[in-house]
Amino acid sequence: MSRAEAQRVQHYHDRLMQAVQAQDAAALRQAKQEVLQAAYGRRLPATPPLRQALRRLSLLMAALRLYRRAPW
């Protein structure tokens, strides 16, 4: 994975964690949708390692959501 791709994944991770910590349901929903679109969509070019990292991030967020049992 290139440095730019790693920074992109880190950006998504940071946005998701900020929304979780702020308990901002709208921001969390928006950030999750952006991660899912980047991971599974065809709109933006992505290498296989980038897609894999984004998919793992989306799975992490699903697990956190179940663990925390947040209302969003």
* pLDDT tens by residue, 14-70: 998 888 888 888 888 888 888 888 888 777 677 889 889 988 888 887 777 656 555
Q: How confident is the model at residue 3 (pLDDT cuts 50, 70, 90)?
A: very high
Q: Quick check: 71 pLDDT over 60? A: no
Long-range contacts formed by 64-71: CB under 8 A, 24+ apart: 64/20, 68/20, 70/20, 70/23, 70/25, 70/28, 71/25
What's the confidence (pLDDT) of residue 14? 93
Give me the domain span that covers residue 30: 3-68
pTM summary value? 0.73
Number of compact structural domains in the chain: 1
Rounded Cα–Cα distance for residues 54 and 60 (Å)? 10
